[in-house]
Amino acid sequence: MQPNFIFIMADQLRWDYLGCTGHPHIKTPAIDALARRGVNFTRAFVQAPVCGGSRMSFYTGRYNITHGATYNNFPLRIDEKTIGDYLRPLGYRVALVGKTHFKADAEAMQRLGIDPSSRVGVFASQCGFEPYERDDGLHPDQIADPNLAYNVWLRQLGYRSKNPWHDFANSVEGENGEVLSGWSMRNARRPARVKEEHSETAYMTDRALAFIDEAGAGPWCLHLSYIKPHWPYIAPAPYHAMYRPEQVIPANRSEAEKTDPHPVMAAFMAHEESIAFSRDEVRETVIPAYMGLISQVDHHVGRVIAHLAKRGLADTTIVIVTSDHGDYLGDHWLGEKDLFHDEIVRIPLIVVDPRAEADATRGREVTDLIEAIDLAPTFLDWAEGTPEAHRLEGRSLRTFVNGSRPEDWRVAAFCDGDFALRHARRRLAVPPSRARGFMVRAARWKYVLFEDLPPQLFDLAADPRELRDLGRAAGYEDVRGEMEARLFVWLRGLKTRVTVSYEQIERRTGKAKERGYLFGVW
Amino acid sequence: MQPNFIFIMADQLRWDYLGCTGHPHIKTPAIDALARRGVNFTRAFVQAPVCGGSRMSFYTGRYNITHGATYNNFPLRIDEKTIGDYLRPLGYRVALVGKTHFKADAEAMQRLGIDPSSRVGVFASQCGFEPYERDDGLHPDQIADPNLAYNVWLRQLGYRSKNPWHDFANSVEGENGEVLSGWSMRNARRPARVKEEHSETAYMTDRALAFIDEAGAGPWCLHLSYIKPHWPYIAPAPYHAMYRPEQVIPANRSEAEKTDPHPVMAAFMAHEESIAFSRDEVRETVIPAYMGLISQVDHHVGRVIAHLAKRGLADTTIVIVTSDHGDYLGDHWLGEKDLFHDEIVRIPLIVVDPRAEADATRGREVTDLIEAIDLAPTFLDWAEGTPEAHRLEGRSLRTFVNGSRPEDWRVAAFCDGDFALRHARRRLAVPPSRARGFMVRAARWKYVLFEDLPPQLFDLAADPRELRDLGRAAGYEDVRGEMEARLFVWLRGLKTRVTVSYEQIERRTGKAKERGYLFGVW
Give tens-digit pLDDT for B257-308: 999 999 999 999 999 999 999 999 999 999 999 999 999 999 999 999 999 9
Residue of A455, A482, A458 lying closest to A469 (CA atoms): A458
Cβ of B520 and A113 within 8 Å? Answer: no
Residues 6+ apart with CB under 8 A from B122: B116, B130, B131
Distance of CA A173 to the CA centre of its chain: 32
- What pLDDT is stored for residue B68 in this prediction? 98
Residue of B104, B99, B130, B131 lying closest to B11 (CA atoms): B99
d(CA B318, CA B76): 27
d(CA B113, CA A320): 32
- Report residue B214's pLDDT band, with 50, 70 and 90 as the boundaries: very high
User: What letters, b where the CB count within 10 A reaches 16 and e where it falls short, cover B240-272?
Assistant: bebbeeeebbebbbeeebeeebbbbbebbbebb
The residues that bridge with B511 in the sheet, in sequence order, are none
Quick one: closest CA in A to B187, which residue? A522
3-state secondary structure A23-54: CCCCCCHHHHHHHHHCEEECCEECCCCCHHHH
B75 chain-A contacts, CB cut-off 8 A: 499-500
pLDDT over 70, % of chain B: 100
Per-residue pLDDT of B142-156, as tens digits, reads 889 989 999 999 999
CB atoms within 10 A of CB A180: 16
A106 chain-B contacts, CB cut-off 8 A: none
Residues 6+ apart with CB under 8 A from B372: B44, B45, B46, B47, B54, B57, B58, B322, B324, B347, B394
d(CA A129, CA A56): 12
Could you tell me if residue A363 is left (phi over 0), alpha (psi between -120 and 50 degrees) or otherwise beta?
left
Which amino acid is present at A20?
C
Q: DSSP states of B317-330 as a string?
A: EEEEEEES----TT
Angle (CA) B87-B89-B90 rounded to 5° is 65
User: What helix, strand, coil percent values describe chain B, rounded to 5?
Assistant: 40, 15, 45
Is A186 in CB contact (< 8 Å) with chain B?
Answer: yes
Quick one: closest CA in A to B124, which residue? A112
A143 chain-B contacts, CB cut-off 8 A: 515-516
Which amino acid is present at B139?
H
Indicate if the pLDDT at residue B237 is higher than 90: yes
Quick one: closest CA in A to B66, which residue? A496
- ipTM score here? 0.96
The number of residues in chain A equals 522
**Which is it for the CA torsion A87, A89, A92, A98, positive or negative?**
positive
Bridging pattern class, strands B445-450 and B456-459? antiparallel
Residue from A386, A489, A521 whose CB has the most chain B CBs within 10 Å, to mutate: A521
Angle (CA) B64-B69-B74 rounded to 5° is 150
**What Rg value do the Cα atoms of chain A yield, rounded?**
23
Residue A77: which of B276, B422, B499 has the nearest Cβ? B499
pTM of the prediction? 0.97
d(CA A99, CA A137): 7
CB atoms within 10 A of CB B312: 11
Residue of B311, B182, B308, B333 lying closest to B254 (CA atoms): B333
Residue B246 is given by DSSP the state G
CB atoms within 10 A of CB A230: 23
Which A positions 27-66 lie with beta carbon below 8 A of chain B?
A: 65-66
Cβ of B488 and A487 within 8 Å? Answer: yes
d(CA A167, CA A456): 42
Q: DSSP states of A408-452 as a string?
A: T--SEEEEEEE-TTSHHHHHHT--TTT-EEEEEEESSEEEEEETT
Cβ of A499 and B75 within 8 Å? Answer: yes
Cβ of A497 and B66 within 8 Å? Answer: no
Residue from B79, B165, B185, B483 whose CB has the most chain A CBs within 10 Å, to mutate: B79
Answer yes or no: are the C-beta atoms of B487 and B438 closer than 8 Å.
yes
Distance from CA of B216 to the nearest CA of A (A): 27
Indicate if the pLDDT at residue B40 is higher than 90: yes
Average pLDDT on B352-379 reads 98
d(CA B241, CA B38): 31
Residues 6+ apart with CB under 8 A from B229: B10, B11, B12, B13, B17, B290, B291, B293, B294, B297, B327
Alpha helices in B397-476 (DSSP H): 398-401, 423-428
Cβ of A488 and B487 within 8 Å? Answer: yes
Distance of CA B432 to the CA centre of its chain: 24
Is B329 in CB contact (< 8 Å) with chain A?
Answer: no
Quick one: closest CA in A to B274, which residue? A520
Indicate if the pLDDT at residue B447 is higher than 90: yes
Cβ of B143 and A516 within 8 Å? Answer: yes
Which A positions 121-160 lie with beta carbon below 8 A of chain B?
A: 121, 124, 138, 140-143
- What pLDDT is stored for residue A1 in this prediction? 86
Angle (CA) B78-B436-A494 rounded to 5° is 55
Residue of B491, B426, B489, B415 lying closest to B456 (CA atoms): B415
d(CA A476, CA A478): 5
Bridging pattern class, strands A130-134 and A93-98? parallel
**Which is it for the CA torsion B129, B131, B136, B140, positive or negative?**
positive
H/E run at residue A56:
helix A51-60
Q: How many CB pairs under 8 A join A and B?
A: 234
Which amino acid is present at A192?
A
Is A118 in CB contact (< 8 Å) with chain B?
Answer: yes
Distance from CA of A203 to the nearest CA of B (A): 22
Is B505 in CB contact (< 8 Å) with chain A?
Answer: yes
Is A177 in CB contact (< 8 Å) with chain B?
Answer: no
Residue A517: which of B140, B389, B433 has the nearest Cβ? B140
Each residue's pLDDT, cut to its tens digit, for chain A (522 residues) gives 899 999 999 999 999 999 999 999 999 999 999 999 999 999 999 999 999 999 999 999 999 999 999 999 999 999 999 999 999 999 999 999 999 999 999 999 999 999 999 999 999 999 999 999 999 999 999 889 989 999 999 999 999 999 999 999 999 999 999 999 999 999 999 999 999 999 999 999 999 999 999 999 989 999 999 999 999 999 999 999 999 999 999 999 999 999 999 999 999 999 999 999 999 999 999 999 999 999 999 999 999 999 999 999 999 999 999 999 999 999 999 999 999 999 999 999 999 999 999 999 999 999 999 999 999 999 999 999 999 999 999 999 999 999 999 999 999 999 999 999 999 999 999 999 999 999 999 999 999 999 999 999 999 999 999 999 999 999 999 999 999 999 999 999 999 999 999 999 999 999 999 999 999 999
Residue from B103, B333, B499, B507 whose CB has the most chain A CBs within 10 Å, to mutate: B499
H/E run at residue B96:
strand B93-98
Cβ of B118 and A113 within 8 Å? Answer: yes
Residue from B505, B506, B507 whose CB has the most chain A CBs within 10 Å, to mutate: B505
Bridging pattern class, strands B364-366 and B39-41? parallel
Residues 6+ apart with CB under 8 A from B99: B9, B11, B51, B135, B136, B137, B225, B226, B227
Quick one: closest CA in B to A273, which residue? B520
Residues 6+ apart with CB under 8 A from A447: A439, A440, A441, A455, A456, A457, A458, A471, A479, A480, A483, A484, A486, A487
Helices A29-37 and A280-310, packing angle to 10 deg:
60
Residue of B133, B87, B129 lying closest to B104 (CA atoms): B129
Which A positions 256-295 lie with beta carbon below 8 A of chain B?
A: 271-274, 276-277, 279, 282
d(CA B56, CA B418): 14
B509 chain-A contacts, CB cut-off 8 A: 420-423, 425-426, 432
Backbone angles phi, psi at B207, to 5 degrees: -65, -35
Average pLDDT on B4-29 reads 98
A141 chain-B contacts, CB cut-off 8 A: 516
Answer yes or no: are the C-beta atoms of A39 and A401 closer than 8 Å.
yes
Average pLDDT on B77-89 reads 98
Average pLDDT on B242-246 reads 98
Residue from A70, A184, A522 whose CB has the most chain B CBs within 10 Å, to mutate: A522
CB atoms within 10 A of CB A198: 21
CB atoms within 10 A of CB A387: 15
Distance from CA of B462 to the nearest CA of A (A): 29
- What pLDDT is stored for residue A146 in this prediction? 85
Distance from CA of A288 to the nearest CA of B (A): 15
d(CA B371, CA B45): 5
The number of residues in chain B equals 522
Per-residue CA distances from B222 to A390, B304, B379, B412 (Å):
35, 11, 12, 30
d(CA B183, CA B282): 13
Cβ of B276 and A522 within 8 Å? Answer: yes
- What pLDDT is stored for residue B143 in this prediction? 87
Backbone angles phi, psi at A198, to 5 degrees: -110, 5
- Report residue B451's pLDDT band, with 50, 70 and 90 as the boundaries: very high
Per-residue CA distances from A185 to A336, B120, B253 (Å):
13, 50, 73
Which A positions 355-414 lie with beta carbon below 8 A of chain B?
A: 389-390
Indicate if the pLDDT at residue B12 is higher than 90: yes
